[in-house]
Amino acid sequence: MRFLFSTLPGLRHFFSIVPLAWAARAEVFRTMQARTGAFPFAQGNFSTDMLTAVSGVFAEISDRMADRTVEVARSWQPDVVVHTPMAGGNAAA
């Protein structure tokens, strides 16, 4: 089975997906909620202004990454595409 892991270009985003990539490599599949008992963003207390500003930044980065991510996915043809929640453009792959 082929997995394509895609994330925003930042260490915090990259490191958050590494454990899942290792689990997939070892063929151990669990959801984040099953492992932690909580949704990852439930711990934060974000204002509407902060969410609007942050989502704009992530939208721009995702837009710049989307075409190349789709190109890689089409040429490699993975069975599963995994992306971080903020990397919205990667969902197109």
Q: What is the pTM of this model?
A: 0.55
Cβ(36)–Cβ(81) below 8 Å: no
Is pLDDT above 50 for 28?
no
* Bigger pLDDT: 90 vs 18: 18
C-alpha pair distances (Å), 39 with each of 21, 34, 42: 18, 9, 5
All structural domains of the chain: 3-92 (3.40.50.2000)
Longest dimension (CA), the chain: 41
Query: What is the distance between the alpha carbons of residues 40 and 84, in angstroms, rounded to a whole number?
Result: 11
Question: What pLDDT, in 10s, does the model give residues 47-81?
Answer: 777 777 777 877 888 888 889 888 988 999 998 88
Q: Say which residues have a Cβ less than 8 Å from residue 76's Cβ, sequence separation at least 6.
A: 2, 4
Query: What is the distance between the alpha carbons of residues 30 and 57, in angstroms, rounded to a whole number?
Result: 30
Query: What is the distance between the alpha carbons of residues 10 and 67, in angstroms, rounded to a whole number?
Result: 19
